[in-house]
Amino acid sequence: MQYVEDIFRTLLTCAQGMRITMRHLLFTDNITVQYPDHKRVLPERFRGVLHADSTKCTGCTLCARACPVNCIIIEFEGKGKDRRVARFEIDISTCMWCGLCVEACRESAIETTLEYEISCYVQDDMRLKFGLGPKKEQLPAERAEPPAPQAPSSGQTGGPSTPPESPGGSAPGGQQP
């Protein structure tokens, strides 16, 4: 009879569930830790905050192309031996930690670190800047720029530290040859 069977199955499944919770109460260790005091040992290949070594970087923008969310902005200047990465920014508020950029890089210039505590007070701090900066003669021009630490539209459309002589910096994704 379905009715009686249902009642017994209800009781049985309740008991089963209670056994499971009791097992977790008594015999299972806590997974969570008391965070700022104790931190879990991270696995070796943990994908944390990205770090780019702009001395290794050739400016090929393969990483920026590989990025599904376009959070990497690369600008470079000069030709041949003078070619240098002037601007290399990663917007980690957009980054989704997929690691595709790391796989795309031929020079191992961009890497994931074990760092994961990325809270900050200013939104601009979420944009990690690894670029070598513009050449020295261009520096005064940049200094002349009025400082705008919190640009309202500082998503992918170029940060506040966009050099004035590079209008392409405002292009979405910053994919520039």
- Rounded-to-integer distance, Cα 141 and Cα 87, Å: 15
Find the distance separating the first CA and the last CA of the chain, reported in whole Å: 75
Of 4 and 144, which CB lies nearer to another protein in the complex structure? Answer: 4
Q: Give the pairing type, strands 127-129 and 72-77.
A: unpaired
Contact 152, 146 (CB under 8 A): no
Alpha-carbon distance 126 to 121, whole Å? 9
Q: What's the closest the beta carbon of residue 28 comes to another protein, in angstroms?
A: 6
28 versus 119: smaller Cβ distance to another protein: 28
Binding another protein by CB under 8 A: which of 14, 98, 118, 120? 14
> Whose structure tokens read 């070598």?
132
By the rule CB under 8 A, 135 interacts with another protein = no
- The span from the CA of 39 to the CA of 158, in Å, is 35
Site string for another protein, 15-34 (x = CB under 8 A): --xx-xxx-xxxxxxxxxxx
What is the x/- site pattern for another protein, positions 27-66, by CB under 8 A?
xxxxxxxx--------------------------------
**Interface residue list for another protein (CB under 8 A):** 7, 14, 17-18, 20-22, 24-34
